[in-house]
């Protein structure tokens, strides 16, 4: 069932939160149409601090916890202070049709397999057009693995040994915090063909057609932290884990 009210009520929460910020701008990148309803694809820019960060959610419409967590994070009265030293760009709901239908795809296609693709897909092209020419220190990409009971994450980038050591130490600190909350961590040797070490996968290939690799391979983002919460655990718990991830990684990016 298509319930576009889901998309509009989520975006209204950002409108309500905007009054807590000195600098808060919403850009409508384009609209997508389904059953005669136009749904906007928006970007939001907040602040003008020295650290440039991109946060993305909602490219897969059935991964509900990330858009919910990001809306709560931005609406939290304590967040403006936390964001003081950042310039933040949000893509809070990249697949409004999928989100409103509670499906992964936008209907026919998995949008996160079609960036940099020659075929025209509206959501991909409006996002690509907006992102091209920009640059960010870090991207936080919030996803869920709907079939999993355990947590894992990706790091995308090309890191020298010293940098990689720091990144992994910080990721391990985050994963230990999850463990303390009773979250199971994925210890499979590989996940979707990529080596997994204690819930951390390192990606240094630019071949994928997902947004993370698209932006990294074009040097629009230097590093991507991608969170995959287990979709088979309680919704509120998953929202809490995404909020923890936002707070943890934003803090570690500052140093
Ligand atoms: Zn996803």
The per-residue pLDDT for range 36-75, each reduced to its tens digit, is 999 999 999 999 999 999 999 999 999 999 999 999 999 9
Q: What distance in Å separates the CA atoms of residue 74 and residue 155, rounded to the nearest whole number?
A: 24
> Domains of the chain: which residue ranges?
5-253
The hierarchical CATH code for the domain 5-253 is 3.40.630.10
CA of residue 215 to ligand 1 center, whole Å: 16
pTM reported for the whole predicted model: 0.97
Q: What distance in Å separates the CA atoms of residue 94 and residue 135, rounded to the nearest whole number?
A: 19
CA of residue 165 to ligand 1 center, whole Å: 27
CA of residue 230 to ligand 1 center, whole Å: 11
CA of residue 210 to ligand 1 center, whole Å: 10
CA of residue 73 to ligand 1 center, whole Å: 19
pLDDT band at 207 (very low <50, low <70, confident <90, very high): confident
The alpha carbons of the chain give a radius of gyration, in whole angstroms, of 17
Asked if 246 and 175 count as a contact pair (C-beta separation under 8 A), the reply is no
Give the pLDDT score at 161: 93
CA of residue 142 to ligand 1 center, whole Å: 8
CB atoms within 10 A of CB 28: 11
CA of residue 227 to ligand 1 center, whole Å: 9
Give the pLDDT score at 108: 93
CA of residue 22 to ligand 1 center, whole Å: 32
Q: Is 98 helix (H, G, I), strand (E, B) or coil?
A: helix
Q: Name beta bridge partners: 140.
A: 55, 225
CA of residue 244 to ligand 1 center, whole Å: 18
Is pLDDT of 113 > 90? yes
CA of residue 147 to ligand 1 center, whole Å: 11
Q: Annotate 5-73 with three-state secondary structure.
A: HHHHHHHHHHHHHHHHCCCEEEEEEEEEEECCEEEEEEEEEECCCCEEEEEECCCCCCCCHHHHHHHHH
CA of residue 180 to ligand 1 center, whole Å: 25
Asked if 225 and 143 count as a contact pair (C-beta separation under 8 A), the reply is no
pLDDT-above-70 percentage for the chain: 100
Give the pLDDT score at 206: 78
Give the pLDDT score at 118: 80
pLDDT tens digits along 185-205: 999 999 999 999 999 999 988
CA of residue 115 to ligand 1 center, whole Å: 14
How many Cα atoms within 13 Å fall on the side-chain side of residue 189? Answer: 0
Q: Is 26 exposed, middle or buried (0-12, 13-18, 19+ CB in 10 A)?
A: middle
Q: What distance in Å separates the CA atoms of residue 160 and residue 236, rounded to the nearest whole number?
A: 37
Give the pLDDT score at 248: 97
CA of residue 164 to ligand 1 center, whole Å: 24
CA of residue 212 to ligand 1 center, whole Å: 11
Q: What distance in Å separates the CA atoms of residue 224 and residue 238, rounded to the nearest whole number?
A: 20
- Closest by alpha carbon to 9, among 68, 66, 77, 84? 68
Structure tokens at 229: 């919460």
CA of residue 154 to ligand 1 center, whole Å: 12
Structure tokens at 95: 């697949």
């Amino acid at each position: 069932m298509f319930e576009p009210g889901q998309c509009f009520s989520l975006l209204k929460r950002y409108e309500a939160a905007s009054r807590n910020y000195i600098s808060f701008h919403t850009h409508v990148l384009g609209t997508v149409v389904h059953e005669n309803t136009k749904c906007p694809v928006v970007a939001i820019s907040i602040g003008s601090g020295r650290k440039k960060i991109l946060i993305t959610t909602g490219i897969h419409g059935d991964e509900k916890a990330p858009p919910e967590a990001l809306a709560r994070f931005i609406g939290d009265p304590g967040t403006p202070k936390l964001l003081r030293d950042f310039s933040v760009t949000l893509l809070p709901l990249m697949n409004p049709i999928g989100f409103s239908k509670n499906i992964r795809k936008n209907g026919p296609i998995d949008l996160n397999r079609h960036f940099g693709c020659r075929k025209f897909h509206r959501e991909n092209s409006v996002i690509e057009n907006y992102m091209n020419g920009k640059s960010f220190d870090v991207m936080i990409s919030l996803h869920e693995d709907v079939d999993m009971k355990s947590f894992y994450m990706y790091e995308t980038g090309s890191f020298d040994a010293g940098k990689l050591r720091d990144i992994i130490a910080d990721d391990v600190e985050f994963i230990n915090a999850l463990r303390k909350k009773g979250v199971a961590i994925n210890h499979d040797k590989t996940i979707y063909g990529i080596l997994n070490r204690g819930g951390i996968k390192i990606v240094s290939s630019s071949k994928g057609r997902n947004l993370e690799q698209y932006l990294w391979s074009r040097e629009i983002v230097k590093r991507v932290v991608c969170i995959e919460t287990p979709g088979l655990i309680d919704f509120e718990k998953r929202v809490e884990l995404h909020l923890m991830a936002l707070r943890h990684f934003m803090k570690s990016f500052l140093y």
